Amino acid sequence: MQPLIKLENVEKTYKMGDQKVTALDKINLEIYPEDFVSIQGPSGSGKSTIVNMIGCLDTPSKGEIYLEKHNIAHLPESDLAQIRGKKIGFIFQIFNLIPSLTALENVALPMTFQNIPRYMRLKRAQELLNQVGLSNRLKHLPSELSGGQKQRVAIARSLINNPEIILADEPTGNLDIKTGNEIMQILKDFNKKGKTIILVTHNPELTKLANKKIILKDGKIIGG
């Protein structure tokens, strides 16, 4: 089986004044279709940077990144944006829902940028909200939802364009333990349905769901 994502000798450096800071140092990594990958490490270890590389949010200073055998390491932002919209769904710790839109409208929003008719967007959004257990919250605003419900909306939104890859950056960080476990079970269920999940977490308990573990320190992979 060919890897879905492959990083070869990826480096990322930033200039801070006269100093050069290495965020990633010769990273080699393969992620296969339907993997559930956890990425751990202390603050400053490179977790966010490696997610930005995989998620087409940034490009490396050196090295190559392959998505389905296509080298995306040096593509312009316009091309990366197209890939993000079609191939990758994002879930964040702070939900990032638009306050003035209902749950249904928030979920449907990414499809707007794919020029999908409104009735098809809303139909797909309703199907996904049903799958995450929010069929009775379609017309609620984010202010009318609990933290766990907001994260369910965010999960549904991440799936709206049927991406192959879900990038979840501390998705349970703002939730209590019980609600966090429910969110993780939803992600696990979607993994069983064929989605590739990449989870960034500080919580070692959550990594038990992963079939592949990556531990970062000082921009290097030190274990798994």
Structure tokens given for 132: 């995450």
The C-alpha atoms of residue 95 and residue 154 are separated, in whole angstroms, by 6
Break the chain into its structural domains and give their ranges: 33-59+76-223
Q: Could you tell me the fold of the domain covering 33-59+76-223? A: Rossmann fold (3.40.50)
Q: Give the mean model confidence (pLDDT) for residues 110-116.
A: 83
What is the tens place of the pLDDT at every residue in 173-223? 888 888 888 889 999 999 999 999 999 988 888 888 899 999 999 999 998
Are 11 and 218 spatial neighbours (Cβ–Cβ below 8 Å)?
Answer: no
Residue type (1 letter), 76: P
Compute the mean pLDDT over every residue in the chain, rounded to the nearest whole number: 91
Structure tokens given for 18: 């006269």
Q: Give the mean model confidence (pLDDT) for residues 56-80.
A: 91
Are 183 and 197 spatial neighbours (Cβ–Cβ below 8 Å)?
Answer: no
**pLDDT-derived band of residue 101, with 50, 70 and 90 as boundaries?**
very high
Helix axes 147-158, 177-192, angle to 10 degrees: 20
Q: What is the DSSP letter of 139?
A: T
What is the tens place of the pLDDT at every residue in 122-158? 999 999 999 999 999 999 999 999 999 999 999 999 9
Which is nearest to 107 in space by CA: 164, 51, 150? 150
220-223 and 212-217 beta bridge pairing: antiparallel
Which is nearest to 32 in space by CA: 74, 82, 69, 83? 69
Are 120 and 200 spatial neighbours (Cβ–Cβ below 8 Å)?
Answer: no
Which is nearest to 153 in space by CA: 81, 210, 103? 103
Question: Residues 77, 171, 41, 3: is their CA dihedral positive or negative?
Answer: negative
pLDDT over 90 at 17, yes or no: no
Report the percentage of the chain scoring pLDDT > 70: 100
Question: Residues 217, 205, 186, 173: is their CA dihedral positive or negative?
Answer: negative
Predicted confidence at residue 123, as pLDDT, reads 96
